[in-house]
Chain A
Amino acid sequence: METLRTLPGDDVRQIMWRFADRYDIQMALQSARSLARTLVARLVAEGARNTHEWTDHKAQLLEAFDTSGLTALFMEPHQGGFIEGPKNLALALVAFELSWVDAGAATCSLATNLALAPIHERGTQEQRDYYMSNCVPPQPGEDRKIFRGAFALTEPLPYVGVETNTLVGKVRVAEWEDGKEPMLQVDKRGRFITGMDFANFATCAVDTDDPRIKTSCIVIVEDTDEGLFDRGAPTLKMVHQLSSTRDPVFNLKVPASRIVGGYTVKDGVIVPNYTHSEIIGAVFHRTRVPVALMSTAKLLSAVEPVIRYQRQRYRGGDAVAGTPKYDLGIQQKPDAVLRLADIWATGEAGASLGFETARLFDQLDPTEKAKDKIMAERGVVGPKSQLSALRKVEKLAIEYLALESMPEDKRDAARFQELGEDTLVRYVLLESLANILCPACKLWNTGHGATVMRESLALMGGYGITEDCPGFLFHKWADTQLEATYEGPEAVQRRQLSITMTNEVFLAKLRIWIDQFTLLAQEKPETGAGIVAKAMELWLWTLEFLHRAKDPSGARLYHNRRQNVTFPMADALCWIMASRCQVADLLELAEKGPENPIVAEGLEGTLGFLSDLSMVQAARAAGECARICATMVNGFGPQDEAELTAFDKLRSQLDRSLSGAALAKDRAGYALTQVMIPEALDYPM
């Protein structure tokens, strides 16, 4: 039987991650790759990570980002960029590619984008064009300084990390002359602010401290504003050292036009168009996805150096070329390759989940703009009234999903078309998914990813924890911990999921997936779809159970404050979502692969191997899900016997669905002993 011949190349990835027809993205990715594997790799090899200070050595990165086009990636063509339209997938792929070598470098390249994100998502057109075009490197003949930014949300004071609703940073009216634009006094101390060494503007979240300003907001401050723009002390960090992080202090006078998204004046009061939390919601919604993929890149990047190490481990001494000992090294032992298969499988699932989320946001971006336009036309203003207007649309969205899942000849085609063309319906559908996938990939890819990343070091033995460890695996492991922390640590993602995963639109979609995957399991059992279907079913049943069940004291089980219920259920969902996306990518490759001559050449082996990984991962995910669900159903008991019997039946079906999963892992392990890898790692150690 044909097995994996080489590690999957760009052509395979372009199909799986759906950018085969996007040469703008492919180019950006190639730029990022060459930069990562030259300058970035050199900096790490030369020990640039040994200091938390921002040095001239590290500062070479900035110019390299500029000249390689990465700085302009976030911008529209009229602002000096080169990609038209939504760029979530492009940004995610570039972050992935840089993190393949060093995630600190990726963060450094994204820091200005993070600062721009509030302006991009909610800024006025003028704010957007001004800051975006000034952040593009000057073109030949242009004489201007490039703007770089920092995003200041978190503060050195208690409560202002996770609890982003509390802000200690303040904004007041400094001067307000009749008929003139008000001047604001912005007072903010930031903690852990990335890019602060070279930022000349910062987007700061501040609360109102003045009856003449209605709400909190985000304000843009610049280093030339009147007052104090102190970059503050450097963070003594031990991760992501190729980015700059400091605790700045701002006390500046700025015009009110710097309020992100603008403001109106009502009865002598400045009313910001957006509160800081509305903007942050929109920003983190998107920027968390590349962060999730930074961790995933590390897992997949570990495969090649680990294989090389495993094969060479017993070379030297009396090992003779051509003998199994020489050619296979510790790959002669199953454990080595089986564990590597686990690492790879986790990486595949994380990539599938992360890139699917990025693509979803590319669809959501224009839909959200269209939705806002409709809302404005209907006079629905403010987040609360929008929310209640959209709640009415949820029914229509569920109706649409029901029609979609019916066979074409059985459904009401006119109604289906009508709902399909309804912007608000489309928005509600996309948003209900984004609300799950975004926190899921941020939580699972980074949190579980960090745990699995540890394994890759273990497979290198003592080498893994030396400075010479090929592939910088030790650094990568440490870095994943930051990725699991910033833009909201794990608890934040779990909390978001615990609210969004009970959304009826999402649950309707989940029911459809269960049906689809159950069918798929008959056609293509090798994908692991049957296992995923059973896991989804068990999870859904448990969620419904938790809503009706009580503990012995009579307290409801599914409750916002009961994090011993909501958080584990959120974790279980992440596993399932990752596996679901992995199966979907596999199907895409099976369908489109034969059309591409390069992919077609080794397709049977590649597909077989990736199917095995998918099955391995599905079995692992189902195991986690079943364990958590069993704890929920039994752990708060005793519960009603009929409920327990129903649960046991589902759980045993899930266990049965694992048939063949261990064989798949055997095959994957064997394939790892056969795959051809390059002679040398393509970046130094």
Chain B
Amino acid sequence: MTPEELQEQAEKRRAEQKDTPHQIRVCVAAGCISTQSDQVKEALVKGLSPELQKTCQVNGVGCMGLCKEGPLVSVDDTLYKAVSAADAPELINSLSQTPVQRLLCDSKAPFFSRQKKIVLENSGKINPEVIEDYIAADGYVALHKALAEMTPLQVNEQVTISGLRGRGGAGFPTGLKWSTVAKGAAGQKYVICNADEGDPGAFMDRSVLESDPHRVLEGMAIAGYAVGANQGYIYIRAEYPLAIQRLKLAIRQAERLELLGKNIFGTTFSFHVELRIGAGAFVCGEETALIASIEGKRGTPRPRPPFPAESGLWGRPTLINNVETFANIAPILRNGGSWFAGIGTEKSKGTKVFALAGKITNTGLIEIPMGITLREIIFDIGGGIPDGRKFKAVQTGGPSGGCIPEQYLDMPIDYESLAKAGSIMGSGGMIVMDDTSCMVDVAKFFMEFCMTESCGKCVPCRVGTVQLHGLLCRITDGTATMDDLSQLEELCDMVRSTSLCGLGQTAPNPVVSTLRYFKEEYLAHIQEKRCLAGVCKITVPHAAGVSR
């Protein structure tokens, strides 16, 4: 495709959209589909009279964010919630009449108005299965700009200026990673998109891939140009069939329009993308384990250095970024690195997508500028805690993160603040807990997760997580002693300091953070044989104080 053709495509699509005065958009991301939004869409399509078909289009679009109220449907600028197929005729009638009051969803509510969308700017607006929709929304313009107007060095410069940091969790500066791979040994290089979203309680990447797959492909191609790679892989979880299907379709469409493949935009730059499907191993989110898995091996990590940027897939320099990181690239190149750097805080630039879940009124997907407070997220955007219960903690960063208590609610969200509070940014899962959650039980939940997900290669993680889990079990069933508590603390320190990879090194984090803020709950289990939240079934009578 030539740039002129791209321009033409975009204008043609925009004109088409203009010619149809009415747009009905139905969310067809996994959340709404599971509440039968596909049937709603079908009913709407069928319900349009031949007359209306000329003036109204029904489109399946990506995630609109408020998953709890799904299926979500927007009729022109009016948003409706909890729509069923039976509501279709009424919604169609509303095109010429007044809105359907009983289904209205207030799109001016803080949940929507307090967000800032960069990564999700197309989500819920464009049809993820139609590449022309993406092109009409300035898709692939950034790729063209990079190839036609910039050197790879200049692309790296813009990414560095933007201050973007890895959205997979650790927050490594993206620009630095790119320049390292760019400077790596000449010859074959690879770009890998880590879509093995493994943190339980996180669904940002799934949603981005289901709602706007081309955005990720474009980011990867730009990365390929910047670092000198002609081959990309997307490593995606098998648990995300819809995302896989949409990615496959998107790759085919982009290849057909020659936006991926050989000699993109008639330049010498070629870039191919292939999918690799994960097979259920959390540890494969770790870079070196992910590489082993793409090579068809057991997903066990290896010591770093050498880092993948130097020696990665098949020993070649390899760039690995996660889905959200790649999704930020096109807007950065379109608007310039300094535009992006103007959003967020001093050290954490841009926006971050979070998945709000647990005991919170508005469960769903949000994107906020870095630096707003947890309180704003949970109480303004999230609508607070349901059933009049009391906020207790918010868990961020999944099994590698920690639980943040009430006293940190006014802390701004950025990489450093979260680390200071004993958690991590992580990939963006935010699980809110109220007073019905026992923090020792939560710590045990995560330890069980790490224990079953440990690859078994290094001793501290393989055996240490089993022993830590055993200690937590004894605490929650009331048989632990104070000695067990000190052993728990000692073992946490040891597993953290000596494990081979990030999984083991961070596995104790949920325990350490709950010990830091909720020690009284541990003590109540051990000394009073009592679970303050009433979750744990303590069978040992108080006096027993069983020793091992």
Q: Is B a genuine binding partner of A?
A: no
Q: Which residues from chain B sit less than 8 Å from chain A, CB to CB?
A: none
Q: Which residues from chain A sit less than 8 Å from chain B, CB to CB?
A: none
